[in-house]
Amino acid sequence: MAHHGRGALSVLWAFWRDYTAEVAHYQAVIWLGMVYFLVVGPTSLAMRLGRRSLLPSTFGRPGTHWEQRAPVPRALDQMRQLY
């Protein structure tokens, strides 16, 4: 008789686990959608209307945000001195 009760509880637990996982999925979709439409979208629209960019200036080089950097030292002693 005790074995039958455990089987029913494990079935109930499996149902509850699957149900809550499904609810959590839809809840995450709703929350992320709200964040996108209430934060990311209006911020992007405001930046476009204000003709502002979050990327660094191209300094007159159209089409690229590449910045030249000094080469990284390859010798072990030089690499230890980086920090």
Task: Report yes or no on whether pTM surpasses 0.85.
Answer: no
pLDDT of residue 72: 75
Mean pLDDT by 10 residues, the chain (83 residues): 70 94 97 95 88 67 71 78 68
Q: Taking a C-beta distance cutoff of 8 angstroms, is the pair 56, 67 a contact? A: yes
Distance CA 52, CA 54 (A): 7
Would you state the pLDDT for residue 1? 47
Please tell me the predicted confidence (pLDDT) of residue 5.
Answer: 61
Q: Nearest CA to 30 among 38, 41, 42, 19?
A: 38
CA dist., res. 6 & res. 76, Å (int): 62
Would you kindly state where each structural domain of the chain is located, as residue ranges?
Answer: 25-53
